[in-house]
Structure 1
């Protein structure tokens, strides 16, 4: 990678790691549904403005079913699940759970798509499962069994990301990466609007709450997509996937710095096991211990 690509990689990881911080800050006032409706709605408008500048065509009329599927699986549903979990779970734990998406992708590929289960993938899935067990077990021991729904939501969100990735791969070339982001944001907004009418803003948000949701929408969603697509263009999808390893690092860092979240042995060991599992299942570690 060039120095510019490495800079973009770390910047993207820092931005996406901060998304869990902003959710933790703003969800008490907005509530999960209102927060995510504002997130995808503002992001959709931002990407529309970018599309106008770049003269990008969306072709929503012909591809609305595809954008609807991506909008639900890759935005509306996982964002909503993480926002629900953010009401009680620390941002650091959410960032690490988010990193399990490649593990779910490997499991789905084996069970559903009949992808051969290699020794590396099996070992990776085992490491990932062990890491999740360490993290979840310790956090439930500290917080109590009442947190089970939040933990379940935090694990279902990356599962949804994995399903979205598989769906996208099943429709290659149907839309550009930018169109995927732009179209899915509008569809996610339309899907969430009826829920928003049933679950409006919980409390009157203050300036800090609005700042957090604006940063979440514009920087962590709209701008992050643009940065990610540039990274894929420069270094390819496999190397861009390495951002998955860095997001938990920044998620834990931001949680500790700004929310005073404790970083215990369970966070470090569980996170290390999950990242090792991701490396093995994604093929980023070769048979001789070299990165692929």
Structure 2
């Protein structure tokens, strides 16, 4: 497996601008000289920037309640339940955030994700009472329930997606974008078994130089809380990452390249 664990390195320095706020945008300030990039009020970017965070110092926990060792991986934990099954891993966390945003906007018809075998799972059909039958590689819809757009039914839909989708299917759904055009909500992803995915949850810019920074969040294996990542290569600006036109992007548990950046299709 291709990953990078940097034991203790990130624990040796103070994170820049990490305060006591209750959301990502209020707790993690950009470095001196940088200001946050504008995000439209109802945009995916604004949703991610305003993700609620658990109290500072909270440890990441796995789906079964065990605590993840903090080996310099994360600086904050998103306040979102992840269920009690080993389902919401890396690509699933990206899917979860995108789906939660669209659900909040009541854009139900836009909530759809593909299974690894190519089957398209539409939330609107699920909410209309249809369920998904999986028999080997054969997947089909069948009518089973009454119409229900409740949070409970939405959450059940997500679990079935998590069970049958992953980095391989998600990477095929997303469209490649040049790293110079990065936006909040873009995804660094390598499809495979297991592959990995992290999502850009905020960005900032130096108005004098035009230099941009970004924040990344992930889940991992086994299923665990969504966490805001530290930057192991640039401790002076961690947890922010500097936006470069090309090259490797090293996160605490995985290595990407600038060509791995993709975006949800509008």
Q: Point out the structure with the larger helix share.
A: 1
Question: How would you bin the TM-score normalised by the shorter chain?
Answer: under 0.3
Q: Using CA pairs below 8 Å that are at least 6 residues apart, which structure has the higher relative contact order?
A: 1
TM-score (norm 1): 0.24
TM-score (norm 2): 0.26
